Structure 1
Amino acid sequence: MTSTQLMEQICSSTNLNQALRRVKKNKGCAGVDKLDIAATISVLRQSSNGQALRQSLLDGSYQPQPVLGVEIPKPSGGVRQLGIPTVLDRIVQQAITSVLTDIYEPKFSNSSYGFRPNRSAHHALAAASHYIREGRVM
């Protein structure tokens, strides 16, 4: 697949609409632009803003916004730094992730658990426990 074909797939109306639905389902707050999900959807539906997003992605002129830095207190003390992208940037990220996941997920080893759909550290631990019970050496 060429980079042009890849970008066409990422920027397809179907993929961008699915990405928007996923971001909407995940909820989340506004980024540095102060636009929440409803406001971002409203902006995208106005005139040609949705088409302008697609075109800026295709021609390489799309520029993500800075992330909003937020400190979340930890129960054990201290703080955890979060970076919150704008809703629009989350839509773009989700559109890219969806296409790349479809391409690369089948290529990963079944023994790989990090940052994969429907897999977690708990699954890795369960697999390791299973291998130990079987007497396998890892």
Structure 2
Amino acid sequence: MSKRFRQGQILNIIREKSVFTQEEIAAELKVRGVAATQVTLSRDLRDLGLVKTQTGYREMAPEEPGVDLANVAREFVTDIRCAQNLLVLRTDPGHASPVALALDQEAWPELVGTIAGDDTILIIATDSEAATALRAKLLQLME
């Protein structure tokens, strides 16, 4: 059996039932006609990114690479206006969501949240001073 097939079977097993030990996985593989040593099984579990939890082995959610705020802001933001504790960012059409996502991922304490449309982002700041500071921070980031 190929490594790819064996690892596919391991994923099928943990998706179908709760297994708590490598011995259980090895037994399930054997039922499916796949032989695996303990060393091979350990390597496969590591390669697959499986973790042992209280409910058995599980797949870890893959980490999504973050969007770089400086890059998307320089690329797509065309205007930034303050209105009390709110900022309105204008972007090229279709690019508000990636910019808003990048802003949200920054987790700046003065930023309460964002709402994105097609070419407009509403940024809610904690207060008007924070909004002014956020605008300055964004403009500096875009230089």
Please indicate, yes or no, whether the TM-score normalized by the shorter chain is above 0.5: no
Whose strand proportion is higher, 1 or 2? 2
Relative to the length of structure 1, the TM-score reads 0.23
Q: Highest Rg: 1 or 2?
A: 2
